[in-house]
Amino acid sequence: MTLQQNLTAECPPALDLSHLNAEQRAAVEATEGPLLVLAGAGTGKTRVLTTRIAHILNTGRAFPGQILAVTFTNKAAAEMRHRIDAIVGNGTSAGLWLGTFHSVALRILRRHTALIGLPSDFSILDPDDQERVLKQILLERDMDIKRTPPRMFAAIIASWKDKALTPAQAAEIGADRTALKIYQAYQERLLQLGAADFGDLLMHCVTLLSQHPDILADYQRRFRYILVDEYQDTNVAQYLWLKLLAAGSRNICCVGDDDQSIYGWRGAEIENILRFERDFVGAKVVRLEQNYRSTPDILAAASGLIAYNRGRLGKTLHTASRESTPVQVVAVWDERAEAAFIAAEIEALQLARKQRLDTIAILVRAGHQTRALEECFMAEAIPYRIIGGLRFYERLEIRDAIAYLRATFQPQNDLALLRIINVPKRGMGEAGIAKIRAFARERNIPLAAAIPLMAAAGELKGKAKDTLLGLMADFARWREMLTLHSHVEVTETILKESGYLTIWKSEKTPEAQGRLENLEELLAALAGFESLPEFLEHISLVMDGDDKPDEAKVSIMTMHGAKGLEFETVFLAGWEEGLFPSQRAMDEKGGAGLEEERRLAYVGITRARRQ
Ligand code: ATP
Ligand code: MG
């Protein structure tokens, strides 16, 4: 008996595909050979993908373990599992190779670590560790880590890894010599440490598969069907990985929308869509044109906007929906007024339509925008969740800055002092700090009081003594400043003079830029309070949120994080020149940057179903 007959015998009756339109059904049923589903937002691409998996399983074409399905976020992967289980029965999805690119690559790597030179239990470095390793390497080479900070190299190396370029391959394309040397040393060090970074997961996997034909053949046989969601955002490494794996069965189905490509800044290549038909000769292309998500008004707004982009593959969208809810454009004075308007609208929706809060989302361009919204929602007692990120006051740089304020103005606050005593690095070792703590504990006094006493008693010496007394003098000076200057000015001075801002200014990454924006936003928040004590008290109250986990909540997230999701009502906050479209994107990439911003706007608008 063939596998197919064998499976069919035990499988439930054929899947009901009547909930699909003709094109969608064609895409589900064309299981054999390469298939590209190229279609606009809300046309059912993800629905096609999940139904296709269910169909393959149900018709006995493959066991779960022979299907590889990749998506972009853990949230999307979980959603897909959920939908598949709903169609073919609980638990079936467990056997699938379904996950994000990184999680699946990791799963493969773990089985072949020896071939890469890693221990089987290799660890994955987080960005902090990564930076520490790079810093050591730079210092060993007597390089100036102020001028060329470790984070700069981390970003360069990550961009090579996005292209699956090993040091040797990067050399071939004539990369910068210094950066190359650092890259090489970094890779060697990681192997010594028995570790890999995030970018290594795919790159090592590509190397493994290209250098070991037997292993590659094994996976090619294993994965009879490969499915990829959000294909427009794959980078070169992911593309190469897919191409290797799919070369055997050629049963690869990618779904995507060139108009929703929003990760160019992380190495995503729209080119991958364009070359699909070249790489997989005879590929079938299905276009879906009916949108099932949004009202005609929403669709018209999105289509009208994206039409300004050049170099699109071009598609038309229509909807059978007759509902009319014109897209509202509301001009407000500032972000506070904007937050207040949104809060009022949400309350009105709850009253008028009994609309559930979890069907409402507010999408922003930049993380710092959530602050004004959060303040307002807390004041109005509207439950909210920050998806794919932290609440404003929980963010690292905000906590650090607040710790500086507390250490300065609440000299008895040991926790705050400990948090920033070595941020930026002041050469304070764990042992030295432990000694101060012991001294303070014995006498039952705060650390800040212990330091001068220890210095006087000769228990602090050399550099540590100078550093700590210097810091104490800074605190005193900043406290003094408050008598003549506003608390906003003093805070600004503290962030500058402590060297804290320099940490992020010297780092040229989008994350660091975001942190600087958050710090700016913190100053704006401070300006809304009469005094520092009042502000610090406010912080203590809001940080101690009483969160009820299963309560329905409004979602606040970035447009990037909202890819693939849908909500009844969507508020798009902060659409103003410079913020969105982002000035940085336009400065760095000009017209191409603006086009990517426009695609992001298209993603944002098309998340909405009704309003
Ligand atoms: P995006 O580009 O935003 O990722 P998508 O193309 O993946 O969108 P889906 O999320 O799969 O679109 O579908 C959008 C909505 O339309 C979902 O609520 C889905 O259940 C619904 N839908 C899709 N196809 C149909 C159909 N044939 N009949 C009814 N509803 C449908
Ligand atoms: Mg989708």
Residue 74: partners with Cβ closer than 8 Å, 6 or more residues away: 99, 100, 103
**Tens digits of residue pLDDT in 87-129:** 888 788 889 999 989 889 999 999 999 999 998 878 888 777 7
* For residue 58, pLDDT beyond 50: yes
Q: What token pair was written down for 195?
A: 């570790």
Q: What token pair was written down for 113?
A: 């670590």
| Pick from 242-256, 425-439, 577-591: least confident | 425-439
Residue 230: partners with Cβ closer than 8 Å, 6 or more residues away: 71, 72, 76, 255, 256, 260, 563, 564
Q: What is the pLDDT of residue 175?
A: 82
48 CA: nearest ligand 1 atom: 11
Task: Give catalytic residues, as residue numbers.
Answer: 45-46, 229-230, 260, 607
Find the mean pLDDT for residues 373-398: 86
| Beta bridge pairs of residue 71 | 100
The Cα–Cα gap between 296 and 609 comes to 10
* DSSP-derived secondary structure for 496-551: HHTTHHHHHHT--SHHHHHHHHHHHHHHHHHHTSSSHHHHHHHHHHHHT----TTS
Q: What is the pLDDT of residue 523?
A: 94
Find the mean pLDDT for residues 302-315: 88
Give the residue, by CA position, lying nearest to ligand 1 atom 31.
292
Find the mean pLDDT for residues 346-360: 92
83 CB within 6 A, ligand 1: no
Q: Which residue has the higher pLDDT, 513 or 488?
A: 488
Q: What is the pLDDT of residue 9?
A: 42
> 266, 235 in Cβ contact below 8 A?
yes
Band (6; pLDDT cuts 50, 70, 90)? very low
* For residue 2, pLDDT beyond 50: no
* For residue 394, pLDDT beyond 70: yes
Q: What is the pLDDT of residue 13?
A: 55
What is the average pLDDT score of the chain? Answer: 90
Q: What is the pLDDT of residue 549?
A: 60
- Taking the CA of 559 as reference, the closest ligand is 1
Residue 425, CB half-sphere, CA atoms under 13 Å: how many? 8
* Ligand 1 probe mutation, 23, 46, 255, 258, most atoms within 8 A of CB: 46
Q: What is the pLDDT of residue 567?
A: 96
Q: By percentage, how much of the chain surpasses pLDDT 90?
A: 62
* For residue 257, pLDDT beyond 70: yes
pTM (whole model) above 0.75: yes
Find the mean pLDDT for residues 554-574: 94
Residue 95, CB half-sphere, CA atoms under 13 Å: how many? 16
- For CA atoms 242, 247, 251, 256, give the dihedral sign: positive
